[in-house]
Structure 1
Amino acid sequence: MIQTGLEKFIKNFPVELKSKRIGVLCHAASITSDYINIIDCFKSLPCTLSAIFGPQHGIFGQTQDNMVEWEGFIHPCLGIPVYSLYGKNRKPDSGMLSGIDALVIDLQDVGARPYTYIWTIKLCMEACCEKGISVWILDRPNPIGAIPFDGPMLNKNHFSFVGGASIPLCHRLTLGEMATLLKNSFFSSLELNVIWMDGWKRSSFFSETGLPWVLPSPNMPTPDTAVVYPGMVLLEATNLSEGRGTTRPFEIFGAPYIKTGEVLAILKLLHLPGCIFREHGFIPTFQKWKGEYCNGFQLHVTDCRAFLPVYTAVAMLSAVIQTSGDKFQFKQPPYEYETVKMPFDILAGSDDLRGFIEKHVSLLSIREKWIESHRAFNAIFTKISHYTEN
């Protein structure tokens, strides 16, 4: 049975934190295996919960979309501040940290670089390093840790709130391992403590862990969504609907102008592993193409271990561009607090991928470039990897 960092934290509460004032960064998915949220867990722990911090989407997952900020408030039952780290502040300021001795972080990540929670953690690590406050990460599974590295590395010139370290789009790391990488790279003097999981193997998918899935964000309804997300998130930076406003975001996608038959003919020739594109029309209830009929597809993953999420999404985008003329468009900034660089480029990690797609560069040659960069990253990955493959 897998024990998450939270459950080990409760069972063997760190002596260093006894009688201390604690801040906690958490959200709706910060739960035990019997669905008790970490905020409620603190009621029985020998410390004082002094402040709560919430990432994008809020501590209850209440804000639906990108760039929908939320405001902090006083917790109605506990009478302590709940601070928003997706609004006026993304990095905690001195006032927010003044009443705590340590910051405990328990967030469920999805294994894709653009998912903002790890970059909220990075900003918290920076703030705590400046104030001499210790950080405690309660580790959780990477739900797609079994998928090999996939997609381009992030260029330092394209660091943003959807990427703040040179890692692949699909990176295989847990948040505890990512925090270790960030400490080694940026915050060497930070007191970082990771409560590692027991029993988790990187070769497992979330559906194999026996742990309950709670939406870590409103458009991540199931572990299936996490499998396709590292590639399909690129659609956020285009005028294709990524399925927001449907019940299967990031699996369903399309636009009124898509020529599904022509796209499907190209994709069939590529023999993309572990997946099937099924024609599926839809009408989004909000966001892009709201209320309009979209020609599109549902991406069905038939073999998670063979599936390549980023390569598959890039192949699909290439096919759409080839068959759509000037109707397909990359979105212009701003996007996730970046006002200059193209949204697609900060998601992809540089402007290379957009250029390759527009110039119809061979998909295999694109992937070969990724694989070469992954070899170099693997040396870093091996040093910080805490968990075994099997």
Structure 2
Amino acid sequence: MATVFSGLENFIKSPPSYIQGKRLGLLCNPASVNRNFVHARQLINEKFPGKLSALYSPQHGFFSEKQDNMIESENIIDNTTGVQVFSLYGKTRIPSKEMFEPIDILLIDLQDAGTRVYTFIYTMSYCLEAAKKFGKKVVILDRPNPIGGVAVEGNCLSLEYISFVGRYPIPMRHGLTIGELALLFNKHYAIDCDLEVIPMKGWRRKMFFSDTSLPWIPPSPNLPTPVSAIVYPGQVILEGTNISEGRGTTQPFEIFGAPFIECDKIISFLGTNKFSGAILRPIAFEPTSNKWQGELCRGFQIHVTDQDKYKPYYSTVKILQAVFQCYSNHFAWKLPPYEYEFEKYPVDLITGNAAIRAAIENNDDIEEIEKSWRDEIEQFLDISRKYHIYSL
């Protein structure tokens, strides 16, 4: 295991000279801690007394207490610092002039999930746009991509499916840190705000979160472990269906199922219970909330046996196709709304292209579908490599 120092830790140890005397804002949540579990707002308040002027929270709330999408948070006063917390997942998701008036510089310290649909990166993008509009500087305190900076997987978002779970044409598994994404959004997509990234020290692209020596704090309620983050780029698709993605259990996204599923039938359709780097283990469970609350569900736990070989997006599309083909009379696509989109199918917003849903319904060869993504992935890599801060 390598010793990795987060952008927060490097910022506190060696603050840039331009910070001195400035009024500071901080976009953060419970995962914004150093290796000793001290929160960023406390570290910044101690380092720059009286300068922390506003706090901001992303989806799930300042304390990461909100369980699901479209559950909004109110503005509050933080008891620890006495500072106002502005919710960026409440009455608005776009910072207003009033929200940015108390600050000169916005610090962003969020743990991303490495997945296109994770909304923290779009909250960040709205902050970059607001900073440009209102003449503020943004400083990203970088953190690891928990599922590595090498593998890139899935189709790129089709522009007709732009939403709060996808603002830019990037793949589902993008392979960038939140700092690198900020540079990509700011330069390639021409936001052009005053932006700096405080890099990590010791992080390499080939690292998963378990390689870093940093503590894992769930960035949202249903990513309790680094393993849940590894399966998330695929299993998040289940949010667009009536299949339980494991919300309301102790292992969200790692387990999935529904009352009508028969494990043997799914394995028979797939021809195996093994994927590259993963094994499906038949299970039964009862969700305590969300889909199928209190009902016995049968399904599987995904055991990741080789995180370097496992392809979460491809694997879940294959699994979902098996469920659809075996249980078309019971299976259902979830209907809108989803993340403030009231017309399109949620699954199309999540996958970023209705062609994925069509391939599942038509029983198309998923291997061939995967091959069709290669050109757009290569085009994305040609662009994204320009913003790499870290080497292998």
TM-score, length-scaled by structure 2: 0.97
Task: Deviation per CA, 1:312-344: give whole Å up to 9, x if none.
Answer: 000100110111022111111100111111110
Please list, as runs of the form range in 1=range in 2, the aligned pairs for 1:144-293 lying within 5 A after superposition. 144-146=147-149, 148-269=151-272, 272-293=275-296
- Separation in 1, partners of 2:80, 2:355: 50
1:70-81 correspondence runs (5 A): 70-81=73-84
Tell me if the contact between 1:232 and 1:242 (Cα under 8 Å) persists in the aligned partners: yes
State how far apart, in whole Å, the 2-side matches of 1:147 and 1:278 are: 27
1:5 to 4, 7, 11: 7
- Of 3, 17, 31, 1:15 maps to 17
1:271 Cα deviation after fit:
5.1
1:295 corresponds, among 298, 303, 306, to 298
1:154 Cα deviation from its structure 2 partner: 0.5
State the partner residue of 2:40: 38
Report the Cα distance in structure 1 between the residues aligned to 2:86 and 2:189, rounded to whole angstroms: 24
CA contact (8 A) 1:129 1:187 kept: no
Unaligned runs of 5+ in 1: none
**SS of residue matched to 2:68:** coil
Preserved contact between residue 12 and residue 43 of structure 2 (Cα < 8 Å): yes
Moved more, 301-310 or 270-279: 270-279
Aligned with 1:24 (options 9, 12, 26): 26
Match of 1:365 in 2: 368
Q: Distance in 2 between matches of 1:17 and 1:187?
A: 25
Unmatched runs of 5 consecutive residues or more in structure 2: none
Return the offset for 1:18.
0.6
Distance 2:80 2:253 in 1: 36
Which residue of the partner structure matches residue 52 of structure 1?
A: 55
1:310 is matched with which residue? 313
**1:146 to partner: Cα distance:** 4.9
Contact 2:4 2:201 in 1 (8 A): yes
Whole-angstrom CA distance in 2 between matches of 1:222 and 1:263: 27
Letter in 1 for 2:85: V
TM-score calculated relative to the size of structure 1: 0.97
Distance 1:251 1:335, change over 3 A: same
- Higher mean displacement: 345-354 or 283-292: 345-354
Give the structure 2 partner of residue 340 of structure 1.
Answer: 343
SS in 2 for 1:61: coil
- Which shows bigger deviation, 181-190 or 298-307? 181-190
Corresponding residue pairs, total: 389
Partner SS for 1:382: helix
Q: Distance in 1 between matches of 2:276 and 2:125?
A: 34
Aligned-CA RMSD value: 1.2
Shift of 1:80: 2.0
